[in-house]
Structure 1
Amino acid sequence: MNILLDDHYTAKVSDFGASVLISPNQTGIGSKIQGTLGYLDPEYLMTGNLTAKSDVYSFGVVLVELLTGEKPASGVRDGEKRNIIQYFILCVEDGRIAQVLNFEPADDGEMEEVEAVADLVKRCLNGSGLRRPTMKEVAEELARLKKLSDNFWAQGENGETECLLGESSSYTYESLNAKMEQMETYTVHTTFDIEQASTLGI
């Protein structure tokens, strides 16, 4: 399966030739290991069992690619060979996410949004499938973050700079999470099927 993005980052999914459909009551399927190196769930590589949480891992890799501008198998940045997935996780844990981004956030507010997304990505990339969020939870959290961002910029355009995220534009990640908890819960029906012989790419 290929994920294609246009100039406005509108996603289109293509090439379902080798996709596998499973019933809702199935937790996974056993199969011959196939796929694109770098996007595959480590548990799938070890066991051959493809699950819904394998999709979550692969989606996390795609988000890393969007944030860093690097493909997971490229391995080289600034002349230094490294695993971009592991380096990304390390930067999130150490509070150094700015070092791995391929863009510069416009202000502190946008940086907080990036950090929130990066934390979600880190959870998607957990080595244990049981500790990853579900795809529904990922979609709901991204929807909350988008609404929070849209509301914040709308307030700014109206000259109301102190309404949504505190008394100043220099708000904290904790305040962002608190606002997210206060917002309504979205039910987003999203299905991500990783085919066994596919290329996930941008």
Structure 2
Amino acid sequence: MSDLKPALEAVLMVVDEPATEAHLAKVLERTPREVADALHELADEYTSQGRGFELRRVAGGWRYYTRAAFAPAVEAFVLEGQQARLTQAALETLAVVAYRQPVSRSRVSAVRGVNCDGVMRTLLQRGLVEEAGAEPETGAILYRTTNYFLERMGLRGLDELPELAPFLPEAEAVEPDSLEGVPSFDPDAPDREDDDKTEV
């Protein structure tokens, strides 16, 4: 078993989902029993040594996880540089998605009056919006806010979003599903807003 443990460690370092004992045994050409024993020994060793990671058996397989005691260190590393505030353009785009979801990029662009493709990509990367199927009539991809958006906003659900009416001047108020009174958008026209050219 001297070479089995290092082999298991190497394989488990690259898995993107829990690996089963049977699969590991097949790949490493060992018996399932040998693999199971080696995995349990590795898990015990990591715990007794107080390592920053642990080997867990989850969902019918095995995978490395960072140890809970070191979560603050991991969080600090992952979030470093990710706390940059959203630009005004991103906030406006996010608001349109939140109140009109599911909504297509072209509709968001029409509401804002500028091309918002770059900002939408940023919101997707930030995990604040996600794809929500396609529009039956046009086939355009639809977008909605995520659970992470609710978490960051401190909301239990979308029904807790504040009413828009108190924040809209009467002359600018429009029906939720209407684009009347909203600037038109020409997809071939150059961007008219610097913020939309900047990743956030």
TM-score, scaled relative to structure 1: 0.18
- Taking CA–CA contacts closer than 8 Å with sequence separation of 6 or more, which of the two structures ends up with the larger relative contact order? 1
TM-score, scaled relative to structure 2: 0.18
| Bigger Rg over Cα | 2
